[in-house]
Amino acid sequence: MTERLWVVVPAHQEEARLGDTLRALAVQRDRDFTLLVVDNASTDNTAAIAREFATGAPFAVEVIEEPQKGVGSAVDTGFRYAIDRGATLLARTDADCLPRPGWTGAARAALTARPGLVCGRITARRDEHGPIGRAGFAGLVRLAALFGRLRPEHAARKGGFKAPYRMHAGNNMAITAELYLAVGGMPRRPSPTDRLFLNAVRRHTDRITHCRRMVVENSTRRLQAYGTAGTARWYLDQGSGTHGTDPR
């Protein structure tokens, strides 16, 4: 059976950034996939931008709506929609991110070699911050990864986990449809959802791969909006303090 890859992009109020994400997907070296944009209760031109892109895209594009606001709801609706239409492999990035040209090919190769969950590498977008800001973002990611590994509740002996904890970014992931359904899907709630989903997978299987060739440039707008301390709180799952959950 030929494996069918769908790429899912949840998007809420992303008219300013979605076009860049779509153009990054259009120059992927592996374009044998269907793109699904999930408009998550936007009131701007997010859906219109996606539909306009679809008219000239080098792959099939579908646009659907999820009225229940929250990235978990948008991702779950998108993944289940794709699975219902024959997707066997699923990849996700976000509407403010830039997948590098080898992203889809790396995701497909990793899932083919070891079916399960694949977590990619995130780095800061080069068009939003200078070298100092990008270095700060990298430091926060490393801190969050270390915090996750040290949290007592993430220890295998306490949680019944079959795989060690490793950093998982929802905006750079791929998973088989079979595993996604087996663990019950993405929690249908606002962000953060990544840690909850990863731990559900860890309880089910040890088939979690980290693929450094699967690279996404991540938006640093949360760093701009929250500052270093506020962003650290967010990545350490301590909430957003006095900030809202949306950094726009």
CATH number of the domain bearing residue 57: 3.90.550.10
Q: Report residue 247's pLDDT band, with 50, 70 and 90 as the boundaries.
A: very low
For residue 243, the model assigns a pLDDT of 45
Residue 248 placed within a domain: no
Q: What is the DSSP letter of 192?
A: P
Contacts of 54-62 with CB under 8 Å at 24 or more apart are 57/22, 57/26, 58/26, 58/31, 59/31, 59/32, 59/33, 59/34, 59/35, 60/34, 60/35, 61/34, 61/35, 61/36, 61/37, 62/34, 62/35, 62/36, 62/37
Please state the rounded mean pLDDT for residues 78-104.
98
Determine the distance from the C-alpha atom of residue 104 to the mean position of all C-alpha atoms in its chain, rounded to a whole number. 13
Residue 176 placed within a domain: yes
Please state the rounded mean pLDDT for residues 35-49.
98
For residue 169, the model assigns a pLDDT of 85
Percent of the chain at pLDDT exceeding 70: 80
In this prediction the pTM is 0.86
For residue 248, the model assigns a pLDDT of 46
The candidate with the shortest Cα–Cα distance to 93, out of 17, 188, 185, is: 17
Residue 240 placed within a domain: no
Q: Which residue range is the domain that position 42 belongs to?
A: 5-235
Please state the rounded mean pLDDT for residues 13-34.
98
Determine the distance from the C-alpha atom of residue 163 to the mean position of all C-alpha atoms in its chain, rounded to a whole number. 20
Residue 103 placed within a domain: yes
- How many distinct structural domains can be found in the chain? 1
Residue 104 placed within a domain: yes
Residue 182 placed within a domain: yes
Distance CA 211, CA 191 (A): 23
Residue 242 placed within a domain: no
For residue 219, the model assigns a pLDDT of 85
Please state the rounded mean pLDDT for residues 29-46.
98
Residue 227 placed within a domain: yes
**For the chain, what is the mean pLDDT?**
86
For residue 167, the model assigns a pLDDT of 75
